[in-house]
Structure 1
């Protein structure tokens, strides 16, 4: 009998090869032939899984987003009694990819972001991903703000605006660590200082 191929596993195997090549060469160095060789499958196998290179790249991008999302969820589940502010800090830190073991993932993520500037096929899933993150951050900021002590000096927060700022800060820190401008510890300090100031921001009338 012909060998049965797990189509889902094969697609993930190919996506992993795409990410390894993107880490080494950037997306411009990702060709179908090289992907097939790195995944140890035939060109025909790659083409049966993905109709176009663009489709393959979109799937690989989705796999990276899923891995990051799973780590965020695992981090939150590990501490169910933590405050919303603590949950937010953990989530933003995880998304910023500051740990050394996530350095390759950060390089690949930024390669996709750069390519998305000229590819709407890649930009669209990124927009969907960022929208979902913004909604999650908005919810956490809202909950954390409600936990703040009620004082006349506390400035009101716009949760959606703060969620946008946190997303932008996380992406910026990823880049600064990756190019060596900041160490991971310095980036964490920037992030934690921002969050502390967020919860203790004085009223503008002071």
Structure 2
């Protein structure tokens, strides 16, 4: 009797392999053979899950985006019912990937961002992720500061760009994660902020 395969589980395992390889080598170092080896499946199994390498990379990008979004939407255990301002600070910190153990994920995310700059097939899903985060930030800013009005969108875009920029500065060694966190929180606490 043929063995039943959980295709979604296999696709996620392959996405994790793509992420580990991208962390070590960048996206240019991700090959079908290496992904299969790292995921401990056959190359044929990878090809049954994904018709092309582009499809596999788009799925892996979505997988990383889902993990980040899940953390953004999950309040910290220390504050299960945060205010809108606290939820915004938590979300921005999660997007900046400044937490313990997130350096690897930050390298993978930025590898996808760099590739999306030259590959519109990745740019579309990446822009959708950013739009969703911008919407969340806009809502939290409007809740935390009801007088923000139309400026809430601008403030959300600014905060999202700051979080991304801080990720880059930490990865290249320009700032430490604690320094980046301090900058982020100072921005949030600044005059006219939430």
**TM superposition score category, shorter chain reference:** over 0.9
1:135-190 deviation per Cα after TM superposition (whole angstroms, max 9, x unaligned) = 111111111112x8xxxxxx987000000000000000000011111011110110
CA–CA separation in structure 1 for the residues paired with 2:70 and 2:136: 14
Q: Cα offset for 1:48? A: 0.3
**TM-score normalised by L of structure 2:** 0.94
**1:158 alignment counterpart:** 151
Q: 1:101-116, aligned counterparts within 5 Å? A: 101-116=101-116
Q: Structure 2 vs 1, CA of residues 75 and 4 (structure 1 numbering), >3 Å: closer, same or farther? A: same
Work out whether 1:194 is the aligned partner of 2:187: yes
Cα distance change of structure 1 residues 157 and 83 upon mapping to structure 2, 3 Å threshold = farther
> CA contact under 8 A between 1:145 and 1:199: conserved in structure 2?
no
Match of 2:12 in 1: 12
1:75 offset after TM fit, Å?
2.0
CA RMSD, Structure 1 to Structure 2 (Å):
1.8
For residues 100 and 157 of structure 2, the distance between their equivalents in structure 1, rounded to whole angstroms, comes to 25
What secondary structure, in the 3-state scheme, does the structure 1 residue paired with 2:145 have? helix
In the superposition, relative to structure 1, how do residues 82 and 100 fare at CA in structure 2: closer, same or farther (>3 Å)? closer
Equivalences for residues 1-206 of structure 1 within 5 A:
1-75=1-75, 79-146=79-146, 158-199=151-192
Partner of 1:151: none
Q: Which residue of structure 2 lines up, in the alignment, with residue 152 of structure 1?
A: none
Residue matched to 1:204: none
Cα gap change, 1:65/1:156 in structure 2, threshold over 3 Å: closer, same or farther? Answer: closer
- State the aligned residue count: 194
Structure 1: gaps of 5 or more residues: 149-154, 202-206
Question: 1:101 is paired with a residue of what secondary structure?
Answer: coil
Q: CA deviation at 1:36?
A: 0.7
In 1, Cα distance between the equivalents of 2:70 and 2:191?
26
What is the CA–CA distance in structure 2 between the aligned matches of 1:56 and 1:28, rounded to whole Å? 13
Task: Give the gaps of 5 or more residues in structure 2.
Answer: none
SS of 1:100's partner is coil
- Report the CA distance between 1:29 and its aligned residue: 0.3
TM-score (normalised: structure 1) = 0.89
Distance 1:188 1:91 in 2: 12
